[in-house]
Amino acid sequence: MMLAENVVELTIASQLEFIDLVTTLTDNITSMVGFDEESAYWINMAVRESVANAVEHGNKYDTQKSVDIRFTIGVDALRVTVRDHGEGFDPATLPDPLDPNNLLNPAGRGILYMRTFMDGVDYERHPEGGMVVSMSKRRAPKQPVPDLSEGDHKHDAVGN
Amino acid sequence: MQLEIRERNVGDVVVLEMFGKITIGDGSLQLRKTVDDLLGAGRNKIILNLGGVSYVDSSGIGELVSRHTTTKNAGGRLKLLHPTKKIKDLLMITKLLTVFEIHEDEQAALDSFQ
């Protein structure tokens, strides 16, 4: 029986070296789902930014804290949630990177990237601590949901 | 290595041929060190050839901005050559297209320093 949604989860330690692992998995999923090359490129970028933010700003490179990534392949959209285990923050208080006074800042564009490349981006505090960013990208219509009910998903996803 | 940088001198201008990804971590740090070493040696006319760069995350864009500012503060100029369409898209999204001097022709980029 085919499920309405398929879920792939990955947990990494807070190390930049693992970001490529997540983006490789992202590429596998977007290819499997049927996103075109251009969309897949920018989804990859949005996921990279969200995981990098979780490692750098959320967990502050504390390797004892994990970053939890969940891909939900729905009929209508691909949803990606990224949770850190840091102290949390209010995204509304962050400087606007497009403000002329901030254009030359070396940092602060990650959330702009995510909001630009995805159809929806929301932040919320996790009840057990940390922040969760939820992103979604609509799928083109009439694409079947791939059946992931067999096999080792994590193994396939990283291309090993 | 995610980013490879080859240095080429044309008169008093340094052309940095870049290949790979400019991303958080090694790629951004490598770009920073390369430019800062040049500035430390008094070489402040710099062209970054981005034709071989396939991917620039927000950290990489930040590093480009940061090295642009550092080079300017050192009395020089850092110019971009052959950015890919995706890099130009990113510069447009971040409103940085007008911050950088961008060239599609190397000779024109070199001449612009004279």
Please give the ipTM for the structure prediction: 0.91
* Domain A6-157 coded CATH 3.40.50.1860: no
Name the residue facing B57 among A48, A98, A116 (closest C-beta). A48
pLDDT digits (tens, 9 = 90+) for A60-105: 999 999 999 999 999 999 999 999 999 988 888 999 999 999 999 9
A45 contacts B61? CB cut-off 8 A: no
Residue B36, min C-alpha distance to chain A (Å):
15
For residue range A102-135, what is the model confidence (pLDDT) as tens digits?
Answer: 999 999 999 999 999 999 999 999 999 999 999 9
Nearest CA in chain A to B23: A48
Q: What is the C-alpha separation between A18 and A135, in angstroms, rounded?
A: 20
| CB-nearest partner of A116 from B59, B65, B93 | B93
Domain ranges in chain A are 6-157
First CA to last CA distance, chain A:
27
Residue whose token pair is 């729905």:
A74
Show Cβ contacts of residue A36 under 8 Å, excluding neighbours closer than 6 positions. A140
CATH architecture of structural domain B3-107: 2-Layer Sandwich (3.30)
For chain B, what are the domain ranges?
3-107
